[in-house]
Structure 1
Amino acid sequence: MTDHSADAPRLTTRETADRLGVKPATVYAYASRGQLTSRRDPEGRGSTFDAREVEALARKGRREPAAGGDTPRIRTRITLIDGDRYYFRGVDATELAGRHHYEQIAEWLWTGTLHTEVRFTAPPEALAAARRSIEALPESSGSADRLRVAAIAAGVTDPLRFDLGRDAVLGVARMLIPTLVDALPPCGEPPHPDAPIAERLWSRLTANRPDTASLRALDLALSLLIDHDLAASTLAVRVAASARAHPYAVVSAGLGTLDGPLHGAASGLAHRMLAEVLERGSAAAVVADHLRAGRPVPGLGHRLYSGPDPRAEALFAALERMPTAGAALGAARAVEAATARQTQLCGNVDLALATLSLASRMRPEAGETVFAVARTAGWIAHALEEYGEPGLRLRTSGQYDGPQPPRAVP
């Protein structure tokens, strides 16, 4: 029952949990993080909490209507898109990616601390299970299929996957990303198991031997794509984390959304377009065929940027230093030039990814694999944020538009 002390009304642990829609254990977690102030019940029956603090925390977790509509807003400290730039925790993301490697940036997003020596290692049991599950798939399976079953298989081997404490989730993140990469079938000679993620992923995408500039371009692509505000897959991840799904399931939710043609497949379409440009020797003819068929030209424009996509600018600059990228870069620039008279759309990161995959003799879906591996780090960062919020806060209500009751039972 409520403790009506002289200074402020107080709630028991159970009442607090009910107000916030969480378990009592989560209430104590909020108290340990300083989000709630606890006080021992004078009668010795447990802790009590300030009702005003509880209500403030509950309000923080509720949906806030966005300006001009009913779309819910989700507070995040991870990524800001402002004008034609984007920032990770307030730092220009392209500058960050230019100075540090993928693993370092991932750790910084998760912990707020930059470590220069970071290595991600796949646990043998999880890796073996992930590889077996991928081997059982038909040859026609795509990269998203492989990554999704690998994430599920790795999770099944982890009996502690339901521990949503911060340290436990960070441990999963450091193991899951290398497991996803190392479980993919190799195209060439795999590097040392402790090699950087970019080098290990390269061997899963192409049989070409990498040079320093090519590996740097792939690492840069991974770093640039770690997060991009609340994209569709990231929103799915936040909803899953809000329901307290474990990290493996959270990543699986993101991968499931990424499999949609409107989100994850754009670089593959751009890859095929660039290959056709090189085959036919005419970007104008290829662009005309797309427009004649009523299809948008892949890899152009982005709804969040009125000007150039900063991720594409950074990646194209790195591709200029790749010895094998000349023809693919020429095709990408020719596509931009062929559309310049009709539209102001610039090449986006999907076009840059397609240029990288084509120049490196990767399969068309390679860009989707790069995107998924990169974004896994961002999904974990968002899950960590969401685990600190009241549970099920993203449970929205539908607007019923069907027949009005009561009606006769059919």
Structure 2
Amino acid sequence: MTEPADPELIPASDACALLGISPATLYAYVSRGQLSSRPGPDPRSRVYLRAEVERLAQRKRAGRGAARGAAQSLDRGLPVLETRISLIRPDGPYYRGRSAVAAARTGATLEDIARLLWECEEQDPFAAAPPPAWPPRVAALALDTGLPPLERTMACIPLLALEQRQSLNAAAPVRREVAAMLLRQNAALLVGVQPDARPVHRLLADAWRPGDAGFAELVRSALVLCADHELNVSAFAARVVASTGAHLHATVSAGLAALSGPRHGGATARAHALLLDAEASGAPAAFIAERWRRGDELPGFNHLLYPDGDPRGTEVLRQLRELCGEQPRMRHVEAVLAATAEHSGQHPNIDGLLAAICYVHGLPGVHALVMFAAARLTGWLAHALEQQALGTLIRPRARYTGLAPGR
């Protein structure tokens, strides 16, 4: 086989050589979702992303040694912390043993999931007085809708900590009430309104599509499905900060900062852009086919932890079809889904479906990130509460690979 013109794409023989495996094993890796392939120079050949192959080869080399296993674990590898909060299974995440998909289908709200994840038992932290209006020093920023939602929120949360007299109170009931207030404040900041006692899904839906009950239900379900996802990047960042004994506002700030990266929360914006670009092309199926042939990524599709498809995305898609199945924009989404399945075999993930909610309803793509951030705060706070209850500091060691002393 001739070498593909794109140096980022390699033929099967090179992929096998890098991994030290047979072609049959290579195809098994593809079928399990550990690698992706694209059409090669001739119809019967396939090519592979060099970066994906090298990353898998690095994991294989890591072996089972303690030091190497620890290094591997920092990229979707071995567990690095014990938690009782959530479990990832092929049929989706489970929140303290309860299926997130089932919770979304049966009408649970984000507040219901918060009470579950925070182990509130008989306490209802949301029954406390609703958050007060923004203090003067915060109001100018909090209500400035000209600022990007995430940046506005990250600017205000540390200032709100100055107003919280019990931010370092270690009593569990007090900490849950602070967490409940933060959940409401965060949602209000993300849409640039005053905080109140409305359920988070209603606050978001009323800000974007007031009076649309079907849309509000769709947002409710999406929030429940995004509330936590085990030890993801932003949850780990929040948990590390919580281990220092910092107040909950600081842990939320850490989670928001991690979420802002293009490889985490920013994936929703790229998924929304894919839908817009496919529409602008005038031929979505051909657009997806050409993009895949070039070796370009398809944001909003595929998930390393769900090789057979992200059940969270599947559930949102089901509800989106029921609500908007005959609308032209939904038909465009279906065309993109069908073309992607045909050419890449990839399934949509939750990032892609959050973007699809916004696209179908004519909303800006940034609203997808707002839904993600409003929901995921629930999990960050659960991890912070769990970590601080343990009372231990998260302080991993590094394996030095630089220049040796004296050389």
2:263 partner SS: coil
Q: In 2, distance between residues paired with 1:352 and 1:130?
A: 33
1:340 match: secondary structure: helix
Taking structure 1 as reference, are residues 284 and 126 closer, same or farther at Cα in structure 2, changes over 3 Å only? Answer: same
1:287 has 2:288 as partner: yes
> Which residue matches 2:93?
86
RMSD, matched Cα: 2.9
Aligned-partner residue type, residue 160 of structure 1: Q
**Secondary structure, in 3 states, of the residue corresponding to 1:400?**
coil
Is the contact made by 1:221 and 1:315 (CA closer than 8 Å) also made in structure 2? yes
Counterpart residue number, 2:182: 176
Query: What residue is the counterpart of 2:403 in the other structure?
Result: 403
Q: TM-score, with normalisation over the residues of structure 2?
A: 0.75
Structure 2, unaligned runs of 5 or more: 1-64, 74-78
Structure 1 partner of 2:198: 195
Instruction: Provide the identity percentage.
Output: 30
Q: CA deviation at 1:145?
A: 0.8
Q: Deviation at 1:406?
A: 3.8
Per-residue CA shift, 1:142-163, capped at 9, x if unaligned? 2221121222121121122122
Whole-angstrom CA distance in 1 between matches of 2:151 and 2:249:
15
Distance 1:118 1:326 in 2: 37
State which structure, 1 or 2, has the greater radius of gyration over its C-alpha atoms: 1
Aligned to 1:108: 116
- Give secondary structure in 2 for the equivalent of 1:73: coil
Query: For the residues of structure 2 that align with 1:176 and 1:192, how far apart are their CA atoms?
Result: 10
Q: Which amino acid aligns with 2:279?
A: L
Specify which structure has the higher proportion of helix. 2
Counterpart position of 1:215: 216
1:143 matched to 2:149: yes
Give me the whole-angstrom Cα distance separating, in 2, the residues matched to 1:360 and 1:119: 33
How far does the alpha carbon of each residue in 1:305-355 deviate from its partner, in whole angstroms, 9 at most, with x for none? 121211111111211232488333322221222122332210111111111
Query: How far apart, in 1, do the equivalents of 2:356 and 2:201 lie?
Result: 17
Deviations 1:110-141 (A, max 9, x none): 1253889956865225565543234579x4x4
1:163 correspondence with 2:164: no
Q: Which runs of 5+ in 1 are unaligned?
A: 1-63
CA contact (8 A) 2:131 2:181 kept: yes
User: Which aligned pairs between 1:381-392 and structure 2 lie closer than 5 A?
Assistant: 381-392=382-393
Larger deviation, residues 168-177 vs 272-281:
272-281
1:7-46 equivalence runs, <5 A: none
Aligned residue in 2 for 1:73:
80
Change (3 A) 1:264 1:110: same
Kindly provide the amino acid, as one letter, of the partner of residue 198 in structure 1: H
TM-score by length of 1: 0.74
C-alpha separation between the residues in 1 aligned to 2:144 and 2:219? 28
> 1: distance between equivalents of 2:100 and 2:252?
22
Distance verdict in 2 for CA 1:349–1:81, change over 3 Å: same
Alignment CA distance shift 1:376-1:88 (3 Å) = same
Q: Judging changes above 3 Å, is the alpha-carbon distance between structure 1 residues 261 and 325 closer, same or farther for their aligned structure 2 residues?
A: farther
Paired residues, number: 336
CA distance in 2, matches of 1:323, 1:148: 34
Secondary structure of the equivalent of 2:87?
strand
